[in-house]
Amino acid sequence: MSKLVNLTIDGRKLQAEEGKTVLAVARDNGIDIPTLCYNEELEPYGACRLCLVEVTKGTRTRLVTSCLYPVEEDLVVKTSTDRVITNRKMLMELLLARCQGVKSIEDMARKLGVDRPSFKPEYWEKDECILCGLCVRACAEVVGTSAISLVNRGVNREVAAPYLETANDCIGCGSCVYICPTKCIKMEDTEDTRTIVNWKASFKMQKCAKCGKNFAPEKQLAYFARKLNLPADTFNVCPDCR
């Protein structure tokens, strides 16, 4: 069993497994910390920085991203000091200025007490992607295909397929679509084709051998049959008929 450490979060004395992050321990104990780029199934990445908290170790107090910071013995964590709240609001203003009209960002901003960015409106944008990297991590860590990645630097940073062309390694599973917090990755299903619009990738759908319904991209089913070492015809019938 892992070693337990004693720490304090918002005045509550807690015990937690060494190596867990401050965010995970806070959530295990019902303490809310806002996040946009965190998913417990994926490696934390520290992109949005909304999960900022103040930690004190010995005589030193500083701001850290709680999704990356591991708990340790005698750590004192405060999740909502004036300094934390001021910094979170500033980050939220930046996101709000970048993503005008994006509902999940507006909702989070309201929750954190930000109505509008304090920057001049000429600096506001209508970008929908917050570069949280959740889509890239889901594709690499859960699906295992790494069809997309974060490319370029600074203001040109974006998520894209190699050479900004069609994502040839995409299998059309839609994991990136489902996990995106701003819903900026578009997937279009027609009768027999699925298209992941952002990655310029289209897929023929598999027709169920029993009911005749198109239920998933052929490429996705072939990929999972191969990955799980199953016979190629394993997914010839849809989940309802299986």
| Site for ligand FES, rule CB under 6 A | 35-38, 46-51, 65, 67
* Closest CB to ligand FES among residues 49, 137: 49
| Shortest reach from residue 112's CB to ligand FES, in Å | 13
Structure tokens, 165: 């062309």
Is the separation of the CB atoms in 130 and 48 below 8 Å? Answer: yes
Rounded to a whole number of angstroms, the minimum distance from the CB of residue 35 to ligand FES is 3
Q: Which residue is nearest to ligand FES (CB)?
A: 67
Residue 202: beta bridge partners? 195
CB atoms within 10 A of CB 122: 5
- Which is closer to ligand FES, CB of 48 or CB of 92? 48
Token pair of 24 as six digits: 């995970």
| Pick 69 or 199: Cβ nearer ligand FES | 69
CB closer to ligand FES out of 47 and 216: 47
Query: Least Å distance between CB 190 and ligand FES?
Result: 35
Reduced to 3 states, what is the DSSP secondary structure of residue 125?
A: coil
For the record, the structure tokens of 12 come out as: 């509550």
- Residue 84 or 216: which CB sits closer to ligand FES? 84
Nearest to 125 by CA among 165, 98, 85, 87: 98
d(CA 155, CA 60): 34
Task: Copy the structure tokens of residue 153.
Answer: 């630097």
Give the closest residue to 74 by CA, choosing from 3, 7, 4, 18.
7
CB of 147 to ligand FES, least distance (A): 23
Nearer to ligand FES, 50 or 105 (CB): 50
3-class state of residue 128 by DSSP = coil
Report which of 47, 52, 35, 123 is spatially closest to residue 86, judged by C-alpha positions: 52
**Please, what is the minimum distance in Å from the beta carbon of residue 77 to ligand FES?**
14
CB of 66 to ligand FES, least distance (A): 6
